[in-house]
Chains A and B, each alone.
Chain A
Amino acid sequence: MSSVPLSAQLINLFASVILLMAFAMLAQRRVLPLINLFAIQGAVLAASTGVVAVTTHQAHLYWSAGLTLALKALLLPWILHRLVRRLNVKWDVESLINIPTTMIVGIVLVVVAFNVALPISQLSSTISRGTLGIALASVMLAFLMMITRSKAIPQVVGFLAMENGLFLAATSATYGMPMVVELGIALDVLVGAIILGVFFFQIREQFDSLDIRHLERLKDS
């Protein structure tokens, strides 16, 4: 089985780890391990981008690998850890649907994602094309996590994990977006995380809790 080059095997391995992390986040009940899982996903994403960069010699991919590592594996998890400590939240993550059911829904989503991505990855000529389905699956799993969690921080982790999946999609289908776009996206994510941090304090000040079930009063009569 020497027909698949080592780099492609590595990329596929990393992609499956990313998917595994997406499932692990879906199953995780505690908030600090959830942030750590997110950090691991970011690190693996950076590693996978790095491998693509080395094999294809695309200069800008080195930059985006570095940016991913700095932003998603280090800076954002650090901000989230600080937030959790400052807000003094140690509760369990509550899920609106029980976790086994969520996992089954997750598996269905993965199958759907693979089917949607199949015609596109056949058109692609990149070394990492097989991972497009995984990327779409991670986006959908992160989305599922956002829907099923009732606390603010897990929702935000879901939001950021969704961005991870999108980044994987960009590298696997096209070797990454143009540099200026990637920088812009990174800036938006960072500013978004900071604004959310400010926002958490506002919510806490008002409700004495970060449970977003308090945020269900606005309805159409």
Chain B
Amino acid sequence: MDTFVLMLAIPLVSGMLLTVVGEREWAPNLNIVASLGTFLSSALLTGEIIADGPRMAFGEMFFIDSLNVFLVTLTAFVGLTTSIFSGPYMKNEQEHGRLTKGRMRLYKSMFQLFMFTMLAALTTNNLGILWVAMEAATLTTVLLVSLYRTPASLEAAWKYFILCGVGIAQALFGTILLYFAAERVLGETGNALLWTRLVDVKGQLEPTVMALAFIFLLVGYGTKVGLAPLHNWLPDAHAEGPTPVSAVLSGLLLNVALYAILRCKVLADGALPGGFAGNLMMGFGLLTLVMAAFFLSRQKDIKRMFAYSSIEHMGLITFAFGMGGVVANFAGLLHMTMHSLTKSAIFFAVGHATQKTGTQIMENIRGLLRINPVIGWGLMLGTLAILGMPPFGVFASEFMILTHAMKHHPWATPVLLLALGVAFASIFGRVQSMVFGETHAKRLPHAPAITPVFLHLAIVLALGLYIPPYLTRWFHEAAKMIG
């Protein structure tokens, strides 16, 4: 069977299956097996794309090239490790009495359906379907954010739904405008929203309409990326939802939304040669980065703090793509990968830590090294990695972004350095006092799954030390596509 069909079908079918059998004893294993299947088929698909070049599927409905296949693999990989992590984690939550059987079922089926919507959003060729899949991704996760049914989690889910709903409505208006511009060139066929068709005629699209369309698309999808000023949903949803959900929201959903913006930017750049789209993205990125860095220092909840750190990194990546050019795009893509892997590893470690200590308030978490050295070191190393310490991979990508900014946009360098410095100071101090020191925590009934944390960190470390040439080529090709 076609690897692409398999990759989309496995999460869809298993998601539906898990709505029925999700509370069984073996359901977590089914979740893992399904995620493994998705990951293997995406890996095979990547092999095919590298060997044979870009391809379509189902007529022209889906399109896979080196840009999205790399995000597909990343998504499937983090999905797999999250499903491994969530097995014992969710069982512990159930035994603490925070979750019922019905909600365990809801969690597993929605997790798989969420994977499906993200993979569909990444691979679709139709910008309208991209919108539909992005909205569906919100819908599948909104009930996951409110999974604990506490007042705070309901509030977070409501905010998430309404803010992302408003954002995504703006993206729809942008899509309508884009279709309007495309229809004038491509005619009234159903093909005028197909990205592959649009990219061929991008120079002929009406500039005024494209400018307006891109503004709406950037603000709309930007809401889901967590760009300021519409980022408010993000820290709440991350802090109040279950930790595996925080890990996939931060590590994957933000990337997918950013990918949507990138696809639109390629078209806008074609129609507006003056760098209009890039400048907008640089502005939004910088604003987001600075805002997040200063909010970081005021956080008391550990998951909220790392959620703000995600906003900060998304701002940095948006800035990198805004600068444009092969080098900056390369750095942006690399940073996207590193951030996904590192941030989900951190959330895994944070999940275990909060479960052990029974609190998310950082002042009350002390001496993680005494409770469980593995978790303590996991959190410490993850934090060092996300703060851009060499030799981790985040250092490489941040360094590339900074040097490129110095060369081409020197005015931005002090702002970048200041924001990164503030973020470093606020996160490092907090984590240090959580990891070291005395403690009084209890044992958990189900031993935590530590492998995913160190697997992710090992990859980030390895990529920081040495990026294999085929990976460089691959990133390079994807970076060239974004232009």
- CB-based contact A120/B192 at 8 Å: no
Which chain A residues border B193 with CB–CB below 8 Å? 177-178, 181
- CB-based contact A203/B177 at 8 Å: no
- CB-based contact A217/B166 at 8 Å: no
Contact of A220 among B162, B180, B295 (CB under 8 A): B295
Which chain B residues border A207 with CB–CB below 8 Å? 151, 154
CA distance A180 to B132 in the complex (A): 10
A-side binding surface: helix, strand, loop or mixed? helix
CA distance A19 to B151 in the complex (A): 37
Q: A195-221: which residues lie under 8 A (CB-CB) from chain B?
A: 195-196, 198-199, 202-203, 205-207, 212, 214-218, 220-221
Interface-side segment among B8-16, B136-144, B250-258, B438-446: B136-144
Interface-side segment among B39-47, B182-190, B269-277: B182-190
| Contact string against A for B residues 282-321, beta-carbon threshold 8 Å, 1 for contact and 0 otherwise | 0000000000000100111000100000000000000000
A78: interface (CB < 8 Å): no
| Contact string against A for B residues 108-138, beta-carbon threshold 8 Å, 1 for contact and 0 otherwise | 0000000000000000001011011001100
Q: How many A residues touch B, CB cutoff 8 Å?
A: 48
B-side binding surface: helix, strand, loop or mixed? helix
- CB-based contact B132/A174 at 8 Å: no
A75: interface (CB < 8 Å): no
Which chain A residues border B161 with CB–CB below 8 Å? 192, 195-196, 199
Q: A139-169: which residues lie under 8 A (CB-CB) from chain B?
A: 139, 143, 146, 152, 155, 159, 162-163, 166, 169
A173: interface (CB < 8 Å): yes
- CB-based contact A163/B169 at 8 Å: yes
- CB-based contact B169/A202 at 8 Å: no
Interface-side segment among B68-76, B205-213, B387-395, B398-406: B205-213
A191: interface (CB < 8 Å): yes
- CB-based contact B146/A202 at 8 Å: yes
CA distance A177 to B193 in the complex (A): 9
Min Cβ gap B269→A in Å is 20
- CB-based contact A119/B208 at 8 Å: yes
Which chain A residues border B299 with CB–CB below 8 Å? 220-221
Which chain B residues border A104 with CB–CB below 8 Å? none
- CB-based contact B132/A184 at 8 Å: yes
- CB-based contact A218/B208 at 8 Å: no
Min Cβ gap B315→A in Å is 17
Contact of A123 among B152, B179, B192, B206 (CB under 8 A): B206
Q: How many B residues touch A, CB cutoff 8 Å?
A: 52
A111: interface (CB < 8 Å): no
B308 nearest in chain A by CB position: A220
- CB-based contact B190/A215 at 8 Å: no
B483: interface (CB < 8 Å): no
CA distance A159 to B166 in the complex (A): 7
CA distance A157 to B189 in the complex (A): 33
B239 nearest in chain A by CB position: A218
Contact of A181 among B132, B139, B159, B180 (CB under 8 A): B132
B134 nearest in chain A by CB position: A188
CA distance A6 to B295 in the complex (A): 58
- CB-based contact A120/B158 at 8 Å: no
CA distance A180 to B143 in the complex (A): 26
| Contact string against A for B residues 149-191, beta-carbon threshold 8 Å, 1 for contact and 0 otherwise | 1111011111101100110010011011101100110001010
Q: A174-B176, A188-B136, A203-B154 in contact; A162/B142 too (CB < 8 A)?
A: no
Which chain A residues border B152 with CB–CB below 8 Å? 217-218
CA distance A173 to B181 in the complex (A): 10
Contact of A120 among B139, B180, B239 (CB under 8 A): B180
Contact of B143 among A163, A178, A198, A203 (CB under 8 A): A198
Min Cβ gap B158→A in Å is 5
Min Cβ gap B104→A in Å is 17
Which chain B residues border A124 with CB–CB below 8 Å? 180
- CB-based contact B155/A217 at 8 Å: yes
B235: interface (CB < 8 Å): yes
- CB-based contact B154/A185 at 8 Å: no
CA distance A172 to B206 in the complex (A): 18
- CB-based contact A215/B128 at 8 Å: no
Min Cβ gap B296→A in Å is 10
Q: A123-B184, A188-B132, A221-B298 in contact; A199/B176 too (CB < 8 A)?
A: no
- CB-based contact A162/B128 at 8 Å: no
29 residue pairs bridging A and B, Cβ less than 8 Å apart: A120-B177, A120-B212, A123-B184, A159-B162, A159-B169, A166-B172, A173-B176, A174-B180, A174-B183, A177-B128, A177-B176, A178-B190, A179-B190, A180-B128, A181-B128, A181-B193, A185-B132, A187-B132, A188-B136, A191-B136, A192-B161, A199-B143, A199-B157, A202-B146, A202-B154, A215-B154, A217-B152, A218-B152, A218-B156
- List 13 extra interface pairs beyond A173-B177, A177-B128, A180-B128, CB under 8 A: A159-B162, A174-B179, A175-B188, A180-B129, A181-B131, A188-B139, A191-B139, A192-B139, A199-B157, A216-B155, A218-B152, A220-B298, A221-B299
